[in-house]
Structure 1
Amino acid sequence: MTADPRDDPGGERPGPATRSRPVPPADLLAAAVVVALVGASVAGTLWWNPARQLGPSSFKGAPEDFGEWPLLGTPFAHTGPGTVPAVLLAVLTVCYGPSLAARLPWRRALLLGYVTALGWITSLALVDGWQRGFANRLTPGTEYLAEVPGITDIPAMLAGFTDRIAHGQPDSWTVHVAGHPPGATLVFVWLDRIGLGGGVAASTVCVLAGALTAVAVPATVALLGHRDRARTVLPLLVLFPGAVWLGVSADALFAGVTATGIALLALAAARRAAWALPAGAILGFGIFLSYGLITLGAVALAVVVATRAWRAFGLAVAGALAVVGLFALGGFWWLDGYHAVVDRYYEGIAADRPYAFWVWANLGCLALATGPAIGPALRRAACGLRAAPRIVALVAGAAVTVAAADLSGLSKAEVERIWLPFAVWLLAAAAFLPARSARWWLALQAATALAVNHLFLTNW
């Protein structure tokens, strides 16, 4: 089967699947740099360890046997009910993913990509077992669900939200609720109100949303005028190593929501400007899920600048401001919450995590989440301005987002989870990887995720 030319209005028809060839030495070197960065982060953790300021030991109350690692987790080799499905999905995607992505009509390819990503995320979560890996991931006392039963008056919750952010008060919010704007908590309150309360429903919604990243990113690349390159990106987003933390964390929800918003903005730029209004509303709601997601404005702006869709930009801003206004009318002002969270952060764990280490070790954690393919992908994107300037702009926007989050000092450790909404956009750079080497990189990406998930008990 070949792609239907009518399904590709951009006129970029993928050729037949190309047999894999050895990877160019420059790409191997770039991947080696990624691996070295991860190794340096581990070595740096051990070197700084006498100060007891790094790795899991910097988490208050964390058990000593967590070990010292840049990512938060317990070294522990294990298997689980998700092991066989995860390995099977990895093998099938490596063997058939590139050819199917190249041959199927675009919408069918996206649908298959979403279903496969959903299975990949769920299988990885179930490596840790049903209860620990899925059902109870969001139920501990530090998580959002712990506060849901006590929220009976949403307007009162919004009006008094900022006052309860500071640590040490009798009515202080739990860690995750206090560390995020109220939109994150409201999602789980709304789920509870419609009869979908509890850990299983919450985890399911997060995974369903997180899998959207696997289609939103390639869809955006396609809408920017490069559907053939989007077909290369699709399987690499499906086997995203960060899926280890998409299943299950609320950051999967954040990543899926914001990725969808940016994809809709690209749709508005390429097709009908009216789509920009819901895109802006979704992205506006995104900054009420996590304060750091405001930096994704760099990716959204990259889409607008690359396409010169200024009318869409105006509508998107209007949609975002409408959401900000609704929260303000409800009694929550974003900037007040942000400043209160910064105060709490530096009164707590931020004081125990040295900026001089985490400003670069964070990148090691990000490299683990994006996988070794990010090295050659970024190398080729840096040389691809003439071939695909719009995709380069998208990747540059993601890089600006990561740099802003990193240099701010408000991200120290845990970024393998926190930066998931940024990491998926960095992988848009995979659009520049040659199709002939796709299976090599897919295999390495899958191996990275499987190794992390089976050698560590991650906290998310």
Structure 2
Amino acid sequence: MPSTPPTHPRPSPYEPAAPETGTPDPGSGRRLDLAAGGAALALFAVVASVGAYLLSRSPSLHVGWPPLMADWGPHLGPGTPAAVAVAALAVGYGPRLAGRLPWRTMPWAAWAVAMAWTWSLALVDGWQRGVAGRLTRSGEYLRGIDRFQHFSSTVHDFTGHILINSPSNWGTHIAGHPVGAVLTFVGLDRIGLGGGAWGGVFCITVGSSAAAAALVTLRLLAGEGRARAAAPFLALAPGAVWVGVSADGYFAAVAAWALALLALAATRTRGWQRAVAASASGLLLGVAVYLSYGLILLAIPVLAVLLCTRRARPLLYVLPACAAVVLVFTLLGFNWWQAYGLLRTRYYQGYGGVRPYAYWVWGNLGAVVAAAGVAAAAGLRRALAAAPAAVRQWRRRADPEALAAVVLPCAFLLAMLAADLSGMSKAETERIWLPFTWWLPAAAVLLPARDRRGWLAAQAATALLVNHLLLTDW
């Protein structure tokens, strides 16, 4: 009777790729993961301690509870039971359901959980403070939409009111963003969805869809197994604290769907599918740049997507579509480069000229810990450690899915570092960098499967603690 050949189990798609050479030490890797998570917490603690000391000597930081734009204020609210329930259910059943649900339902499920998570966290502060009143405060978008009664002339003259010493200068958020940001809320008002309540509903609904967009992107680039493993981390991201309610959550979703469509275009072989997806991606990328000046840094993850797929052909459709958006806004009278130059002046006329760069250049990273969570730090450690091997694999055209799992989080980290070093991001980065930090929890797919539930619980605890101990400005 012939002997049965030994069988070797196939590696699970939920596990990170093994190193190219040598035998991995699981115990050592887990210790390093814990060390990375601990280092992230230590960074936040040091940043907070130094910030508190500086704040006691001078108000120059201009935040209430550095490094976050918040005030100390332990509290409970109507959203507390729901937030705890969503966290418990997602940690307890999320990983299992993510592995079993039909794929066609996965993005919808991730969006639904992310929306429930964001709503419950927002309502911890109550309906008025947590949702309806967020976008109506001084300096917010809704305080300036009445000035768009004469639409074309207001858009044409927009840049003339950016500087603080200009006549009828715009409020902080309108002046700090391209005209597309405020036009979103003008449009909502024109269709009968005006006011803070509808604005909050819009930002939460659209913003939480970034989880679905990131999931689609990961499946296309990193494989279905890794996308399923990332789903609970994307749905339960700590950044949801600031998605509900800030316009930056909406910006993050626009950016995320632009990248998802780009990934779709880069992985499709049929010409018409590639053309449609790439053109839609280009339109959204163009819109994103007219929502926030900082989203010009999406060029880095765009490049990462194209490198992972080794396809530049989508740019034949992306660039003209993006240029069409630029042309429309230019014809309306809004000059992006001129406005950005004026914004730089305005930035240093206000808090940007007072907040010390020496603190915020690393204090911003402490805010990232709160928005991305300790699981993101542990996953990023693995991504950075695997980066040299990933480059070698890319050169050999080997395992492109494992490459994407490493390259994508590194690309978003690089975009944030560029924003950090620019000096134009001093404080409030837990909100401003949502288009980048939202993706970092997905790096947790590089962690061992048996450890992920614990890391997911840590993510949920981060958001719950921040939202219940602090009164955040968003």
Report the TM-score, using the length of structure 2 for normalisation. Answer: 0.89
The residue aligned with 2:93 is 96
Alpha-carbon distance change, 112 to 435 in structure 1, aligned in 2, over 3 angstroms:
same
SS of the counterpart of 2:163?
coil
Match of 2:42 among 24, 36, 41: 36
2:239 and 2:371 in contact (8 A); partners too: yes
Match of 1:418 among 423, 432, 444: 432
Structure 2 distance, partners of 1:70, 1:395, is 23
1:229-284 deviation per Cα after TM superposition (whole angstroms, max 9, x unaligned): 11111100111001111000000110111111111110111123120101011011
State whether structure 2 residue 51 is matched by structure 1 residue 45: yes
Structure 1 distance, partners of 2:13, 2:108, is 18
Structure 1 residue 392 displacement after superposition:
2.0
Identity %: 46
State whether structure 2 residue 253 is matched by structure 1 residue 247: no
Structure 1 residue 431 displacement after superposition:
2.5
SS of the counterpart of 1:167?
coil
1:154-192 deviation per Cα after TM superposition (whole angstroms, max 9, x unaligned): 211221011110103331111110010000000000111
1:289-311 deviation per Cα after TM superposition (whole angstroms, max 9, x unaligned): 01001111111111012112211
Structure 2 distance, partners of 1:83, 1:396, is 34
Structure 1 residue 44 displacement after superposition:
1.5
Letter in 2 for 1:267: L
Runs (4 or more) in structure 1 with deviation over 6 Å come to none
2:178 and 2:290 in contact (8 A); partners too: yes
Letter in 2 for 1:422: F
Match of 1:79 among 76, 79, 104: 76
Structure 2 distance, partners of 1:332, 1:169, is 17
Alpha-carbon distance change, 228 to 341 in structure 1, aligned in 2, over 3 angstroms:
same
Structure 1 residue 112 displacement after superposition:
1.1
1:84-130 deviation per Cα after TM superposition (whole angstroms, max 9, x unaligned): 00000000000000011111111212211110100000000000001
State whether structure 2 residue 347 is matched by structure 1 residue 345: yes
Letter in 2 for 1:273: R
The residue aligned with 2:185 is 188
Match of 2:330 among 325, 328, 339: 328
Matches for 1:230-379 after TM superposition, within 5 Å:
230-271=227-268, 272-274=273-275, 275-379=277-381
Structure 2 distance, partners of 1:310, 1:257, is 22
Letter in 2 for 1:84: P
* Gap regions ≥5 residues in structure 1: 1-10, 60-65
SS of the counterpart of 1:127?
helix
1:39-87 deviation per Cα after TM superposition (whole angstroms, max 9, x unaligned): 11112213323552454xx26xxxxxx4x42101111111111000000
State whether structure 2 residue 213 is matched by structure 1 residue 216: yes
Alpha-carbon distance change, 54 to 372 in structure 1, aligned in 2, over 3 angstroms:
farther
2:279 and 2:321 in contact (8 A); partners too: yes
Matches for 1:54-203 after TM superposition, within 5 Å:
54-55=60-61, 58=62, 66=64, 68-203=65-200
Alpha-carbon distance change, 365 to 355 in structure 1, aligned in 2, over 3 angstroms:
same
In terms of Rg, which structure is larger? 2
Structure 1 distance, partners of 2:58, 2:301, is 36
1:281 and 1:316 in contact (8 A); partners too: yes
Match of 1:26 among 28, 32, 44: 32
- Give the alignment's Cα RMSD to 1 decimal: 1.9
Structure 2 distance, partners of 1:39, 1:232, is 29
Report the TM-score, using the length of structure 1 for normalisation. Answer: 0.92
Structure 2 distance, partners of 1:77, 1:293, is 34
Structure 1 distance, partners of 2:109, 2:333, is 43
1:17-53 deviation per Cα after TM superposition (whole angstroms, max 9, x unaligned): xxxx999211111100110110111122133235524
Structure 1 distance, partners of 2:439, 2:302, is 11
The residue aligned with 2:384 is 382
Structure 2 distance, partners of 1:97, 1:289, is 33
The residue aligned with 1:228 is 225
Letter in 1 for 2:85: L
Structure 1 residue 323 displacement after superposition:
0.3
Structure 1 residue 426 displacement after superposition:
2.5
Alpha-carbon distance change, 157 to 13 in structure 1, aligned in 2, over 3 angstroms:
farther
Alpha-carbon distance change, 225 to 354 in structure 1, aligned in 2, over 3 angstroms:
closer
Structure 1 distance, partners of 2:79, 2:384, is 37
Structure 1 residue 14 displacement after superposition:
5.5
Structure 1 residue 13 displacement after superposition:
7.8
The residue aligned with 1:452 is 466
Alpha-carbon distance change, 359 to 133 in structure 1, aligned in 2, over 3 angstroms:
same
The residue aligned with 1:8 is none
SS of the counterpart of 2:76?
coil
Letter in 1 for 2:55: N
2:274 and 2:314 in contact (8 A); partners too: yes
1:394 and 1:428 in contact (8 A); partners too: no
